[in-house]
Amino acid sequence: MRRLYPPIEPYDHGMLEAGDGQAVYWETSGNPNGKPAVFLHGGPGGGTMPLNRRFFDPGRYRIVLLDQRGCGRSTPHIADGADLSVNTTAHLIADIEALREKLGIDQWLVFGGSWGSTLSLAYAQRYPERVTELVLRGIFLLRRKEIDWYYNGSAGCVYPDEWEKFLAPIPEAERDGDLVAAYHRLLSSADPEIVGAAALAWTTWETTTSSLRPDPARVAQTSDTRFALAFAKIENHYFRHGGFLDEAQLLRDIGVITHIPAVIVQGRHDIVCPAVSAWDLHRAWPGSRLHIVDDAAHSATEPGIIHRLVEATDTFAAVEHHG
C-alpha cells in the first residue's frame, strides 16, 4: 500500500493578481526542476492544505497549489465580503491558466478531487494542449441529478441523523422545495447569526458524510466559522448556477481530451459524489483507467484512495515532461 509522502514546505509562494480585485494565493514545493503538477482543491471554497502536497513525490514533481477565488489565503475572502459575481468556473479556469503562464510552465499534470475533478475536466477541455495527464478522484460532473441526490433528499436516506441537522436551519414550509435555493436565502440573510448557522450546517453535512468511518478531527477543522462561510457560500453559489456549465457539458465535450492519459479513483461508498458519475465518465472515455475502491467513501485521505492516487502520480512521474 502506498502512503502519502512526508510533509514538505513550499520553496516559493505568492499572490497572482487575477483582475476583478482578486488576488489568488499560490505556492510551489518539491523539485523546482521536476515534472509540473497542479492540485485543484474541492468545494468549491475548500482551499488547500499542507497535506495536498504529499500526493506527489517531492523529488520528481514541481508541485503547484492554489487557493481558488474567495477562499483559503486568496483575497478578498468570502468572510470579508468578496464579490461572488466574479467567481465562476470561467474565472477559475482563467486564473489557473494565468498562473501557469506566470510560473513559466508549458504543460502540467492536473490533479483534482470532488469539485476539483469538475474543474480539472473543465480546464483540460478548455486547454487540452496544456495538460499532460489527469488524476481525478471522487468524480463530480455537476449534473442536476447529482445536486438533487445530495442536497434535495436522497442522500439523507443513508444519513438520516445528519440529514435532520442539515434541514434544521430551513423553515419547515420550505423543506419540500429546492433546498439549495432555501440555503441561498439563509446564506444571503442580513442577520449574521442566521448566515453563520446555515454555513455551519451546510459544511457539516458534507464533512460528516465524506468518510466511510467518522472523522471527528476533520469535522472540527471545518467547523471554523471563516472556513464554513467560504465553503458554504461559494458551493451554494456554484450549485445554484449548475457550476456555470451546460447540463452534462463535461461528458458532452469529453472527445476534446480522450487522448490525455487519465486515472480515475472512486470510493464505492461515496455518498457525496456517487460512483455512477465516475462510471459514466469512464464509459465515455474508454482510454481512462478507473479504480473503484471498495473500502472507501469520498475522502481523499482514506487508505485505499491514497494508495491509488499516489500510485497514479508515481506512474506519471516517469513520463517525460516539457516543463
pLDDT digits (tens, 9 = 90+) for 178-213: 999 999 999 999 999 999 999 999 999 999 999 999
Q: Quick one: pLDDT at residue 321? A: 63
- Residues with catalytic roles: 114, 270, 298
Q: Do both 135 and 278 map to the same domain? A: yes
Can you give the residue range of the structural domain that contains 88?
12-144+244-317
Cα gap 131→120, rounded to integer Å: 10
In the prediction, which pLDDT does 222 show?
80
Q: Is the confidence at residue 219, as pLDDT, over 90? A: no
Domain closes at, from 211, 241, 271: 241
**CB atoms closer than 10 angstroms to residue 263:** 21
Q: Does 5 map to a domain?
A: no
H or E stretch including 24?
strand 22-30
Do 172 and 138 share a structural domain?
Answer: no
At 31, which amino acid appears? N
Given a cut of 70, whether residue 323 has pLDDT beyond it is no
29 shares a domain with 178: no
- 62 beta partners: 30, 36
Among residues 179, 207, 241, the one where a domain terminates is 241
Nearest to 121 by CA among 148, 142, 144: 142
CA distance 249 to 75: 30
Residue 153 lies in a domain: yes
Do 156 and 298 sit in the same domain of this protein? no
Within a domain: 90: yes
Q: What domain count does the chain have? A: 2
Cis before 44 (ω within 30):
yes
Whether 262 is covered by a domain: the verdict is: yes
Q: What is the CATH number of the domain that holds 252?
A: 3.40.50.1820
Please indicate, yes or no, whether residues 163 and 139 belong to a single structural domain of this protein: no
pTM: 0.97
Confidence check: pLDDT of 69 > 80: yes
Based on the domain organization, do 56 and 103 belong to the same domain? Answer: yes
Cell, residue 96: 489557473
Query: pLDDT confidence of 220, banded at 50, 70, 90?
Result: confident
Q: Are 66 and 99 in contact (CB under 8 A)?
A: yes
Give the pLDDT band (50/70/90) at residue 322. Answer: low
Q: Is residue 43 part of a domain?
A: yes
In a domain, 118, yes or no: yes
What's the confidence (pLDDT) of residue 8? 98
What is the rounded CA–CA span in Å between residue 106 and residue 267? 32
Q: Does 179 share its domain with 139?
A: no
Are residue 113 and residue 24 in the same domain, yes or no? yes
**Residue 7, domain member (yes or no):** no
* pLDDT tens digit sequence for 36-56: 999 999 999 999 999 999 999
